[in-house]
Amino acid sequence: MIQYKSTRGSKNIKTSAQAIIKGIAEDKGLYVPDAIPSLGDPAELVGLDYRQVAFKVLSLFLPDYTEEELRYCVESAYDAKFEAEEIVPLKKAGDAWFLELYHGKTAAFKDMALSILPYLLTTAMKKEKEDKKIAILTATSGDTGKAALAGFADVPGTEIIVFYPSEGVSQVQKCQMVTQEGANTHVFGIHGNFDDAQTGVKKIFNDSEFGEELAAKGVKLSSANSINIGRLCPQIAYYVWSYVKLLEEGAVKKGESINIVVPTGNFGNILAAYYAKQIGIPVNKFICASNRNKVLTDFINTGVYDIRRDFYVTNSPSMDILISSNLERLLYHLSGDNGEEIAALMKSLEEQKYYEVSDKIREGMKEFYGGYADEEMTNDAIGRMYKENGYLFDTHTAVAYRVYEDYRKETGDDRPAVIASTASAYKFADSAALSIGLGEEKDGFAYIKALNAASGVRVPAGLKDLESKKVLHTGVVEKDSLKEAVKSSLF
Ligand SMILES: *Cc1c(COP(=O)(O)O)cnc(C)c1O
């Protein structure tokens, strides 16, 4: 049976339920499966609905959950709160297939995992007879925060605490978070960027003294960030689903490979695509698209991961990240499960602010193509796609599309490509509206209305009437006082 071990070499093996409760390993590493399961022939999944495919994939990665437990989790998560009948529609526009992952409650792909994580976690707590209250600490670049709040609001036995960069998210994103209802929800802006928030949260996880203090008061910390395997595993399912849909459409024949394009920040979504390949989906290239914060592009091209550079706030804020946590998992697999090597790389990143990987890892990285798009290229892609195909996509998806265009030009590789479409255009309505030629408006909400009037695309329910909702969370804290904020939320 598959279990989970740390990327940094400690020998402490966990079941998937234990790993989901813990979030991050004691040695600061991330949990990875200790063996790769096999999906079997994807063609056998043709005709299944999304829930059935998700159940199949999750049962491979979470084998200690019973069939009944997993069915309960999957069916509670992927229901009518998704505004698309199919849960995840796959739409052809221009020369690519768009995997629309944003039809959940908060209009971003984070809902795919965060709708199910509360069920996976509370089920795990029952299985493990965990009697402590679980406090979920979450750093967000904009979308995870709201999706985690929506998923965990009023879930018994949990508290959810979110930190977002107070000047680094879109107006709509901020409004979504600060209006969140639920007695167990806590939201703080921080004076700093996403990396500061993520580093601060990781520091709290690694503060064993604080952990003991919390334990004495009956609280245990866990994470809703993509460092939690309970986030990662549900994301593998939709890549499997996309391939099954392409088979159904006749766009690929059995065994034919595809390319997968992912707008990337913390490297969670693209890592899920990588796992989909490991279990049996034929993928030729993983196309990793970045915005101006192009650490990953440079890493893929040089083998050097270097954060000694300026940080930019862009119009694809959910990708404004320099430290992509989940890359650690890929490097671990590519190193041949060498925990010592990975621990040394991460130490170098922390102390020297860069690392260079071995030739062996670089060889493995050849499955990845890295590219980036700046804001002008992003807006241009939105405008062209809309004009030529009447298809509207958001800034993050636009980054992915532009990098995919560059990839095709460079390589001539025209096999079917699935582009992870990660948010509704309405979440970043100002950029979308201006890119398709609409005029200036006074704020994000007015842009939503203008974009809707011009495009006719339905506004997601969660974004309607947002401006009239009551602001419930006003706290803003310094980046080195996250611990105090956690305490004030819990006690
Ligand atoms: C989170 C997010 C991303 C980046 O995903 P990672 O898993 O962090 O790489 C891209 N687009 C949107 C809209 C997001 O919310």
pLDDT (tens digit per residue) in 457-484: 999 999 988 989 999 999 999 999 999 9
* 2 within 8 A of 32, measured Cβ to Cβ: no
Position in ligand 1 atom list of the atom nearest CA 263:
10
Q: What SS3 state is found at 14?
A: strand
**What does pTM read for this prediction?**
0.96
Mutate to test the pocket of ligand 1, among 98, 117, 318 (most ligand atoms within 8 A of CB): 318
Ligand 1: atom nearest CA of 394 is 13
Q: Tell me which of 109, 169, 290, 328 to substitute to probe ligand 1's pocket, judged by most ligand atoms within 8 Å of the beta carbon.
A: 109
Indicate the pLDDT class of residue 141, thresholds 50, 70 and 90. Answer: confident
- Spell out which residues line ligand 1, taking CB within 6 angstroms: 108, 110, 143, 226, 263-269, 318-319, 396, 422-423
Angstrom CA distances, 340 to 9, 12, 228, 329, 438, stand at 6, 15, 21, 13, 54
Which atom of ligand 1 is least distant from the CA of 141?
1
Q: Which residues contact 331 (CB under 8 A, 6 or more apart)?
A: 7, 342, 345, 357, 361
Q: How far apart are CA 418 and CA 57, in angstroms?
A: 19
What is the enclosing helix (H) or strand (E) of 6?
strand 4-6
Confidence of residue 170 (pLDDT cuts 50, 70, 90): confident
Least confident of 214-228, 358-372, 413-427: 214-228
> pLDDT, tens digit, for every residue of 85-140?
999 999 999 999 999 999 999 999 999 999 999 999 999 999 999 999 999 999 99
pLDDT at 439: 96
Per-residue pLDDT of 224-233, as tens digits, reads 988 899 999 9
Mean pLDDT to the nearest integer, 69-78: 97
- Distance of CA 407 from the midpoint of ligand 1 (Å): 20
- 263 Cα to the center of ligand 1, angstroms: 7
290-311: pLDDT as tens digits: 999 999 999 999 999 999 999 9
- Ligand 1 atom at minimum distance from 102 CA: 13
Structure tokens at 235: 């994301």
Output the six-digit token pair for 87.
């849960």
Q: How far, in Å, from the CA of 265 to the mean position of ligand 1?
A: 5
Give the closest residue (by CA) to ligand 1 atom 2: 318
